[in-house]
Amino acid sequence: MRILFVSAEVTPLAKVGGMADVVGALPKVLRNMGHDVRILMPYYGFLGDKMEVPEEPIWEGTAMYQNFKIYETLLPKSDVPLYLFGHPSFWPRRIYYGDDEDWRFTLFANGTAEFCWNGWKPDIIHCNDWHTGMIPVWMHETPDIKTVFTIHNLAYQGPWRWYLERITWCPWYMEGHNTMAAAVQFADRVTTVSPTYASQIQTPAYGERLDGLMSFIGGKLLGILNGIDMNFYNPANDRYIAQTYNVDTLEKRVANKVALQEEVGFEVNKNTFLVGMVSRLVEQKGLDLMLQVLDRFMAYTDSQFILLGTGDRFYETQMWQIATRYPGRMSVQLLHNDALARRIYAGTDAFLMPSRFEPCGISQLLAMRYGSIPIVRRTGGLVDTVSFHDPINNAGTGYSFDRYEPLDLLTAMIRACEAFRFKDKWHELQKRGMRENFSWDESAYEYIKMYKSMLGLPEEDTEVQKEPELAQ
Protein backbone atom coordinates (compact mmCIF):
# COMPACT_ATOMS: atom_id res chain seq x y z
CA MET A 1 0.00 0.00 0.00
CA ARG A 2 1.08 3.57 -0.69
CA ILE A 3 0.59 5.61 2.47
CA LEU A 4 1.43 9.28 3.03
CA PHE A 5 1.65 10.59 6.59
CA VAL A 6 1.03 14.33 6.84
CA SER A 7 1.93 16.12 10.05
CA ALA A 8 3.10 19.44 11.51
CA GLU A 9 5.59 17.60 13.76
CA VAL A 10 7.96 14.70 13.15
CA THR A 11 10.60 13.36 15.55
CA PRO A 12 13.56 13.97 15.56
CA LEU A 13 13.21 17.05 13.33
CA ALA A 14 10.38 19.07 14.88
CA LYS A 15 8.72 18.17 18.16
CA VAL A 16 6.36 19.88 20.59
CA GLY A 17 4.13 17.00 21.70
CA GLY A 18 3.52 13.28 21.33
CA MET A 19 2.27 13.61 17.75
CA ALA A 20 5.88 14.04 16.64
CA ASP A 21 6.88 10.72 18.22
CA VAL A 22 4.02 8.90 16.51
CA VAL A 23 4.77 10.22 13.02
CA GLY A 24 8.50 9.76 13.54
CA ALA A 25 8.19 6.09 14.55
CA LEU A 26 5.08 4.47 13.04
CA PRO A 27 6.01 5.00 9.35
CA LYS A 28 9.35 3.25 9.90
CA VAL A 29 7.60 0.17 11.29
CA LEU A 30 5.00 0.16 8.52
CA ARG A 31 7.75 0.44 5.92
CA ASN A 32 9.51 -2.56 7.49
CA MET A 33 6.25 -4.43 6.94
CA GLY A 34 6.67 -3.91 3.20
CA HIS A 35 4.53 -0.87 2.48
CA ASP A 36 5.50 2.27 0.59
CA VAL A 37 5.16 4.77 3.43
CA ARG A 38 6.26 8.39 3.15
CA ILE A 39 5.97 11.55 5.26
CA LEU A 40 5.12 15.14 4.36
CA MET A 41 5.84 18.00 6.79
CA PRO A 42 6.49 21.76 6.59
CA TYR A 43 10.00 22.93 5.73
CA TYR A 44 10.68 24.90 8.91
CA GLY A 45 13.51 27.39 8.97
CA PHE A 46 15.52 25.39 11.50
CA LEU A 47 15.51 22.08 9.60
CA GLY A 48 18.65 23.05 7.71
CA ASP A 49 20.55 22.88 11.02
CA LYS A 50 19.50 19.26 11.56
CA MET A 51 19.80 17.64 8.13
CA GLU A 52 20.89 18.12 4.56
CA VAL A 53 18.13 19.12 2.16
CA PRO A 54 18.61 19.15 -1.63
CA GLU A 55 18.68 22.63 -3.12
CA GLU A 56 16.38 21.71 -5.99
CA PRO A 57 12.73 20.77 -5.38
CA ILE A 58 11.18 17.67 -6.95
CA TRP A 59 7.82 19.36 -7.54
CA GLU A 60 6.28 22.83 -7.56
CA GLY A 61 2.69 23.88 -7.25
CA THR A 62 0.21 26.61 -6.38
CA ALA A 63 -2.37 26.74 -3.58
CA MET A 64 -4.36 29.65 -2.13
CA TYR A 65 -2.69 31.93 -4.72
CA GLN A 66 0.71 30.99 -3.28
CA ASN A 67 3.60 29.20 -5.00
CA PHE A 68 5.22 26.41 -3.02
CA LYS A 69 7.89 23.77 -3.53
CA ILE A 70 8.26 20.15 -2.45
CA TYR A 71 11.72 18.90 -1.50
CA GLU A 72 12.59 15.23 -1.00
CA THR A 73 15.05 13.73 1.46
CA LEU A 74 15.07 10.87 4.01
CA LEU A 75 13.89 10.82 7.61
CA PRO A 76 17.14 10.67 9.65
CA LYS A 77 18.38 7.17 10.48
CA SER A 78 15.76 5.51 8.29
CA ASP A 79 14.85 4.73 4.70
CA VAL A 80 11.51 6.58 4.91
CA PRO A 81 11.17 9.21 2.15
CA LEU A 82 10.48 12.63 3.62
CA TYR A 83 8.81 15.43 1.67
CA LEU A 84 9.24 19.02 2.87
CA PHE A 85 6.64 21.67 2.04
CA GLY A 86 8.59 24.80 1.22
CA HIS A 87 6.96 28.23 1.57
CA PRO A 88 8.19 31.51 3.13
CA SER A 89 5.54 31.34 5.88
CA PHE A 90 7.48 28.41 7.38
CA TRP A 91 10.90 30.06 7.23
CA PRO A 92 10.70 31.48 10.79
CA ARG A 93 12.44 29.26 13.34
CA ARG A 94 9.26 28.15 15.09
CA ILE A 95 6.60 25.46 14.74
CA TYR A 96 3.52 27.05 16.25
CA TYR A 97 2.31 30.45 17.43
CA GLY A 98 2.19 33.66 15.46
CA ASP A 99 -0.74 35.52 13.95
CA ASP A 100 -0.49 33.51 10.73
CA GLU A 101 -0.75 30.03 12.31
CA ASP A 102 -4.24 29.19 11.00
CA TRP A 103 -3.43 30.54 7.54
CA ARG A 104 -0.10 28.81 7.02
CA PHE A 105 -1.25 25.37 8.18
CA THR A 106 -4.34 25.64 5.98
CA LEU A 107 -1.96 26.46 3.13
CA PHE A 108 0.12 23.42 4.10
CA ALA A 109 -2.98 21.19 3.92
CA ASN A 110 -4.05 22.69 0.59
CA GLY A 111 -0.58 22.22 -0.88
CA THR A 112 -0.56 18.62 0.32
CA ALA A 113 -3.83 17.96 -1.51
CA GLU A 114 -2.41 19.46 -4.72
CA PHE A 115 0.72 17.30 -4.40
CA CYS A 116 -1.36 14.14 -3.92
CA TRP A 117 -3.56 14.94 -6.91
CA ASN A 118 -0.76 15.90 -9.28
CA GLY A 119 2.52 14.66 -7.79
CA TRP A 120 2.93 11.46 -5.77
CA LYS A 121 -0.47 9.77 -5.51
CA PRO A 122 -0.95 7.61 -2.41
CA ASP A 123 -3.66 5.06 -1.71
CA ILE A 124 -4.16 6.50 1.77
CA ILE A 125 -3.39 9.88 3.29
CA HIS A 126 -2.94 9.62 7.06
CA CYS A 127 -3.71 13.07 8.49
CA ASN A 128 -2.77 14.18 12.00
CA ASP A 129 -4.69 16.80 14.00
CA TRP A 130 -6.36 19.98 12.76
CA HIS A 131 -3.32 21.20 10.80
CA THR A 132 -4.23 18.62 8.15
CA GLY A 133 -7.97 18.60 8.80
CA MET A 134 -9.12 20.04 5.48
CA ILE A 135 -7.45 17.24 3.48
CA PRO A 136 -10.27 14.69 4.12
CA VAL A 137 -12.79 17.33 2.99
CA TRP A 138 -10.99 17.97 -0.29
CA MET A 139 -10.41 14.24 -0.92
CA HIS A 140 -14.09 13.40 -0.41
CA GLU A 141 -14.75 13.33 -4.16
CA THR A 142 -11.49 11.54 -5.00
CA PRO A 143 -12.58 7.93 -4.40
CA ASP A 144 -9.21 6.36 -5.22
CA ILE A 145 -7.50 8.23 -2.35
CA LYS A 146 -8.73 7.28 1.13
CA THR A 147 -8.11 9.35 4.25
CA VAL A 148 -7.45 8.56 7.90
CA PHE A 149 -7.66 11.36 10.45
CA THR A 150 -5.95 10.84 13.81
CA ILE A 151 -6.95 12.96 16.80
CA HIS A 152 -3.94 13.51 19.04
CA ASN A 153 -5.62 16.27 21.07
CA LEU A 154 -9.26 17.21 20.58
CA ALA A 155 -8.82 20.48 22.49
CA TYR A 156 -7.12 22.09 19.49
CA GLN A 157 -9.68 22.27 16.69
CA GLY A 158 -8.31 24.76 14.17
CA PRO A 159 -9.88 27.83 12.55
CA TRP A 160 -13.61 28.46 12.29
CA ARG A 161 -15.60 27.85 9.12
CA TRP A 162 -16.12 31.59 8.44
CA TYR A 163 -12.33 32.11 8.39
CA LEU A 164 -11.72 29.08 6.18
CA GLU A 165 -14.19 30.41 3.62
CA ARG A 166 -12.19 33.63 3.43
CA ILE A 167 -8.80 32.06 2.81
CA THR A 168 -9.32 28.75 0.99
CA TRP A 169 -11.69 26.58 -1.03
CA CYS A 170 -14.57 25.16 1.00
CA PRO A 171 -16.55 22.71 -1.18
CA TRP A 172 -20.31 23.06 -1.36
CA TYR A 173 -20.78 19.78 0.49
CA MET A 174 -18.54 20.74 3.43
CA GLU A 175 -20.07 20.47 6.89
CA GLY A 176 -18.65 21.42 10.27
CA HIS A 177 -18.13 24.69 12.13
CA ASN A 178 -14.34 24.34 12.34
CA THR A 179 -11.50 22.32 10.82
CA MET A 180 -11.65 19.46 13.31
CA ALA A 181 -15.43 19.06 12.98
CA ALA A 182 -15.13 18.93 9.19
CA ALA A 183 -12.22 16.48 9.27
CA VAL A 184 -13.93 13.82 11.39
CA GLN A 185 -17.04 13.91 9.19
CA PHE A 186 -15.27 13.45 5.87
CA ALA A 187 -12.37 11.14 6.77
CA ASP A 188 -12.91 7.49 5.86
CA ARG A 189 -11.63 6.48 9.30
CA VAL A 190 -11.06 8.48 12.48
CA THR A 191 -8.60 7.22 15.07
CA THR A 192 -7.42 8.33 18.48
CA VAL A 193 -4.19 7.37 20.17
CA SER A 194 -5.72 5.15 22.86
CA PRO A 195 -8.92 3.09 23.24
CA THR A 196 -9.98 4.86 26.44
CA TYR A 197 -9.66 8.30 24.84
CA ALA A 198 -11.81 7.13 21.91
CA SER A 199 -14.56 6.36 24.41
CA GLN A 200 -14.06 9.47 26.52
CA ILE A 201 -14.36 11.98 23.67
CA GLN A 202 -17.89 10.76 23.09
CA THR A 203 -18.89 12.16 26.51
CA PRO A 204 -19.47 15.81 27.53
CA ALA A 205 -16.63 15.70 30.06
CA TYR A 206 -13.96 15.10 27.41
CA GLY A 207 -15.67 15.88 24.11
CA GLU A 208 -14.65 19.55 23.93
CA ARG A 209 -18.20 20.37 22.71
CA LEU A 210 -17.85 17.82 19.91
CA ASP A 211 -19.08 14.85 21.95
CA GLY A 212 -22.34 14.63 20.00
CA LEU A 213 -20.49 14.59 16.70
CA MET A 214 -18.02 12.00 18.00
CA SER A 215 -20.87 9.75 19.02
CA PHE A 216 -22.48 10.26 15.61
CA ILE A 217 -19.33 9.12 13.76
CA GLY A 218 -18.62 6.40 16.34
CA GLY A 219 -18.98 3.66 13.73
CA LYS A 220 -15.75 4.73 12.04
CA LEU A 221 -13.96 5.85 15.25
CA LEU A 222 -11.17 3.58 16.48
CA GLY A 223 -8.69 3.86 19.34
CA ILE A 224 -5.22 2.40 18.69
CA LEU A 225 -2.67 2.73 21.48
CA ASN A 226 0.53 4.63 20.78
CA GLY A 227 3.90 2.97 21.07
CA ILE A 228 7.48 4.17 21.36
CA ASP A 229 10.61 3.50 19.36
CA MET A 230 12.21 0.88 21.62
CA ASN A 231 15.61 1.25 19.94
CA PHE A 232 15.68 5.04 19.91
CA TYR A 233 14.70 5.12 23.60
CA ASN A 234 16.82 2.37 25.10
CA PRO A 235 18.70 2.75 28.40
CA ALA A 236 21.06 -0.02 27.30
CA ASN A 237 22.64 2.14 24.58
CA ASP A 238 21.48 5.72 25.26
CA ARG A 239 24.49 7.98 24.77
CA TYR A 240 22.81 10.90 26.57
CA ILE A 241 22.76 9.26 30.01
CA ALA A 242 25.67 8.85 32.41
CA GLN A 243 25.47 5.07 32.77
CA THR A 244 23.80 2.57 30.46
CA TYR A 245 21.83 -0.29 31.99
CA ASN A 246 18.99 -2.72 31.38
CA VAL A 247 16.45 -4.62 33.41
CA ASP A 248 19.08 -7.22 34.39
CA THR A 249 21.65 -4.63 35.48
CA LEU A 250 19.27 -2.29 37.28
CA GLU A 251 21.79 -1.71 40.07
CA LYS A 252 23.82 0.43 37.64
CA ARG A 253 20.93 2.87 37.28
CA VAL A 254 21.77 4.70 40.53
CA ALA A 255 24.75 6.31 38.77
CA ASN A 256 22.27 8.24 36.62
CA LYS A 257 20.46 9.49 39.73
CA VAL A 258 23.72 10.74 41.22
CA ALA A 259 24.72 12.38 37.93
CA LEU A 260 21.33 14.13 37.65
CA GLN A 261 21.54 15.39 41.23
CA GLU A 262 24.98 16.82 40.50
CA GLU A 263 23.83 18.36 37.21
CA VAL A 264 20.95 20.37 38.72
CA GLY A 265 22.63 21.23 42.03
CA PHE A 266 20.85 18.86 44.39
CA GLU A 267 22.41 17.22 47.43
CA VAL A 268 23.86 13.94 46.20
CA ASN A 269 22.05 11.21 48.09
CA LYS A 270 20.92 8.01 46.40
CA ASN A 271 18.40 7.35 49.20
CA THR A 272 16.51 10.61 48.65
CA PHE A 273 13.23 10.21 46.77
CA LEU A 274 13.70 12.04 43.45
CA VAL A 275 10.59 12.93 41.43
CA GLY A 276 10.68 14.19 37.84
CA MET A 277 8.22 15.78 35.43
CA VAL A 278 8.73 16.48 31.71
CA SER A 279 5.73 18.32 30.35
CA ARG A 280 4.21 21.26 28.60
CA LEU A 281 3.19 23.67 31.36
CA VAL A 282 -0.50 23.94 30.56
CA GLU A 283 -3.68 23.20 32.48
CA GLN A 284 -4.26 19.95 30.57
CA LYS A 285 -1.18 18.46 32.23
CA GLY A 286 -2.50 19.00 35.76
CA LEU A 287 -0.41 22.04 36.65
CA ASP A 288 -3.28 23.58 38.61
CA LEU A 289 -3.30 20.48 40.84
CA MET A 290 0.48 20.61 41.18
CA LEU A 291 0.42 24.20 42.44
CA GLN A 292 -1.99 23.20 45.19
CA VAL A 293 0.01 20.26 46.58
CA LEU A 294 3.68 20.66 45.64
CA ASP A 295 4.52 23.07 48.50
CA ARG A 296 3.04 20.70 51.05
CA PHE A 297 4.76 17.67 49.56
CA MET A 298 8.16 19.38 49.56
CA ALA A 299 7.67 20.78 53.09
CA TYR A 300 6.66 17.52 54.75
CA THR A 301 9.07 15.15 52.97
CA ASP A 302 12.77 15.32 52.19
CA SER A 303 12.10 14.58 48.50
CA GLN A 304 13.70 16.29 45.53
CA PHE A 305 11.76 17.47 42.47
CA ILE A 306 12.86 18.44 38.96
CA LEU A 307 10.59 19.92 36.26
CA LEU A 308 11.48 20.30 32.58
CA GLY A 309 9.28 22.11 30.09
CA THR A 310 7.77 25.37 28.96
CA GLY A 311 4.23 26.65 28.55
CA ASP A 312 1.89 29.21 30.04
CA ARG A 313 3.76 32.09 31.66
CA PHE A 314 1.59 31.84 34.79
CA TYR A 315 2.58 28.22 35.45
CA GLU A 316 6.22 28.91 34.63
CA THR A 317 6.31 31.76 37.17
CA GLN A 318 4.47 29.87 39.88
CA MET A 319 6.67 26.78 39.61
CA TRP A 320 9.80 28.91 39.61
CA GLN A 321 8.65 30.72 42.75
CA ILE A 322 8.05 27.43 44.56
CA ALA A 323 11.53 26.29 43.54
CA THR A 324 13.11 29.35 45.18
CA ARG A 325 11.71 28.16 48.52
CA TYR A 326 13.51 24.82 48.28
CA PRO A 327 17.08 25.50 47.12
CA GLY A 328 19.06 22.33 46.55
CA ARG A 329 15.87 20.26 46.46
CA MET A 330 13.77 21.60 43.60
CA SER A 331 14.82 22.58 40.09
CA VAL A 332 12.65 24.14 37.35
CA GLN A 333 14.20 23.97 33.87
CA LEU A 334 12.11 26.19 31.57
CA LEU A 335 13.36 24.88 28.24
CA HIS A 336 13.12 22.11 25.63
CA ASN A 337 16.00 19.66 25.97
CA ASP A 338 15.60 16.06 24.81
CA ALA A 339 18.95 15.00 26.26
CA LEU A 340 18.04 16.33 29.73
CA ALA A 341 14.61 14.68 29.42
CA ARG A 342 16.31 11.33 28.90
CA ARG A 343 18.51 11.93 31.94
CA ILE A 344 15.38 12.71 33.97
CA TYR A 345 13.74 9.46 32.84
CA ALA A 346 16.92 7.54 33.69
CA GLY A 347 17.73 9.30 36.97
CA THR A 348 14.45 9.89 38.79
CA ASP A 349 12.73 7.40 41.06
CA ALA A 350 9.21 8.46 40.09
CA PHE A 351 7.66 10.37 37.21
CA LEU A 352 4.67 12.66 37.71
CA MET A 353 1.84 12.97 35.17
CA PRO A 354 -1.40 14.19 36.86
CA SER A 355 -3.19 15.12 33.62
CA ARG A 356 -6.68 16.56 33.48
CA PHE A 357 -7.04 14.62 30.21
CA GLU A 358 -4.49 12.67 28.20
CA PRO A 359 -5.21 11.26 24.71
CA CYS A 360 -2.40 8.74 25.16
CA GLY A 361 0.78 10.18 26.57
CA ILE A 362 4.31 9.22 25.65
CA SER A 363 6.17 10.37 28.75
CA GLN A 364 4.80 7.64 31.03
CA LEU A 365 5.90 5.01 28.50
CA LEU A 366 9.40 6.46 28.38
CA ALA A 367 9.52 6.70 32.16
CA MET A 368 8.71 2.98 32.54
CA ARG A 369 11.17 2.13 29.77
CA TYR A 370 13.91 3.82 31.81
CA GLY A 371 12.77 2.49 35.21
CA SER A 372 11.07 5.59 36.64
CA ILE A 373 7.76 4.76 38.32
CA PRO A 374 4.81 6.75 36.91
CA ILE A 375 2.38 8.59 39.21
CA VAL A 376 -0.63 9.33 36.99
CA ARG A 377 -4.27 10.21 36.95
CA ARG A 378 -6.48 7.50 35.49
CA THR A 379 -7.63 9.16 32.29
CA GLY A 380 -7.26 8.51 28.56
CA GLY A 381 -4.19 6.56 27.54
CA LEU A 382 -2.86 6.59 31.10
CA VAL A 383 -5.58 4.05 31.94
CA ASP A 384 -4.44 1.82 29.07
CA THR A 385 -0.72 1.95 29.87
CA VAL A 386 -0.21 2.26 33.65
CA SER A 387 -1.73 -0.48 35.82
CA PHE A 388 -2.43 0.08 39.53
CA HIS A 389 0.40 -1.06 41.80
CA ASP A 390 -0.70 -3.88 44.11
CA PRO A 391 2.23 -4.62 46.48
CA ILE A 392 0.51 -7.59 48.11
CA ASN A 393 0.17 -9.51 44.83
CA ASN A 394 3.28 -8.00 43.19
CA ALA A 395 1.23 -6.60 40.31
CA GLY A 396 0.94 -3.29 38.53
CA THR A 397 3.41 -0.79 37.13
CA GLY A 398 2.65 2.55 38.81
CA TYR A 399 0.62 4.72 41.16
CA SER A 400 -2.64 6.25 40.04
CA PHE A 401 -5.62 8.23 41.29
CA ASP A 402 -9.11 8.77 39.84
CA ARG A 403 -10.63 12.08 40.92
CA TYR A 404 -9.12 15.33 39.68
CA GLU A 405 -8.63 16.59 43.22
CA PRO A 406 -5.49 17.94 44.97
CA LEU A 407 -5.81 15.57 47.92
CA ASP A 408 -5.95 12.54 45.63
CA LEU A 409 -2.75 13.62 43.86
CA LEU A 410 -0.98 14.29 47.15
CA THR A 411 -2.03 10.89 48.49
CA ALA A 412 -0.59 9.12 45.43
CA MET A 413 2.68 11.03 45.77
CA ILE A 414 2.96 10.20 49.48
CA ARG A 415 2.21 6.52 48.82
CA ALA A 416 5.02 6.38 46.27
CA CYS A 417 7.40 8.23 48.60
CA GLU A 418 6.70 5.78 51.43
CA ALA A 419 7.02 2.76 49.15
CA PHE A 420 10.44 3.94 47.97
CA ARG A 421 11.86 3.06 51.40
CA PHE A 422 11.32 -0.64 50.70
CA LYS A 423 14.02 -1.02 48.06
CA ASP A 424 13.48 -4.69 47.14
CA LYS A 425 9.80 -4.16 46.37
CA TRP A 426 10.61 -0.92 44.59
CA HIS A 427 13.12 -2.67 42.32
CA GLU A 428 10.52 -5.32 41.47
CA LEU A 429 8.10 -2.54 40.53
CA GLN A 430 10.75 -0.91 38.34
CA LYS A 431 11.48 -4.17 36.56
CA ARG A 432 7.81 -4.81 35.83
CA GLY A 433 7.61 -1.43 34.15
CA MET A 434 10.81 -1.94 32.18
CA ARG A 435 9.58 -5.31 30.91
CA GLU A 436 6.40 -3.81 29.47
CA ASN A 437 6.39 -3.97 25.67
CA PHE A 438 5.32 -0.63 24.25
CA SER A 439 6.85 -1.16 20.81
CA TRP A 440 4.97 -0.09 17.71
CA ASP A 441 4.68 -3.65 16.38
CA GLU A 442 1.21 -4.50 17.73
CA SER A 443 -0.17 -1.04 17.03
CA ALA A 444 1.25 -1.08 13.49
CA TYR A 445 -0.55 -4.35 12.81
CA GLU A 446 -3.83 -2.73 13.93
CA TYR A 447 -3.22 0.17 11.54
CA ILE A 448 -2.51 -2.26 8.69
CA LYS A 449 -5.80 -4.07 9.36
CA MET A 450 -7.62 -0.75 9.25
CA TYR A 451 -5.89 0.37 6.03
CA LYS A 452 -6.71 -2.91 4.30
CA SER A 453 -10.35 -2.76 5.35
CA MET A 454 -10.56 0.74 3.85
CA LEU A 455 -9.13 -0.47 0.53
CA GLY A 456 -11.12 -3.70 0.49
CA LEU A 457 -7.98 -5.85 0.70
CA PRO A 458 -7.95 -9.24 2.41
CA GLU A 459 -6.26 -9.55 5.77
CA GLU A 460 -3.17 -11.70 5.96
CA ASP A 461 -0.51 -12.47 8.53
CA THR A 462 2.07 -9.74 8.56
CA GLU A 463 5.43 -10.27 10.17
CA VAL A 464 7.12 -7.15 11.49
CA GLN A 465 10.84 -6.94 10.84
CA LYS A 466 12.64 -5.58 13.88
CA GLU A 467 14.57 -2.41 13.30
CA PRO A 468 18.35 -2.68 13.55
CA GLU A 469 19.96 -1.60 16.80
CA LEU A 470 21.20 1.95 16.79
CA ALA A 471 24.95 2.41 16.94
CA GLN A 472 26.14 3.57 20.33
pLDDT in tens, 26-43: 999 999 999 999 999 999
Environment class of 381 (CB within 10 Å of its CB; exposed 0-12, middle 13-18, buried 19+): buried
pTM of the shown model: 0.88
* pLDDT given for residue 454 in this prediction: 95
Residue ranges for the chain with pLDDT beneath 70: 460-472
What is the maximal distance between C-alpha atoms in the chain? 66
Whether 26 and 440 have beta carbons less than 8 Å apart is answered as yes
* pLDDT given for residue 332 in this prediction: 96
Which of 270, 234, 254, 276 is CA-nearest to residue 375? 276
* pLDDT given for residue 467 in this prediction: 46
* pLDDT given for residue 264 in this prediction: 95
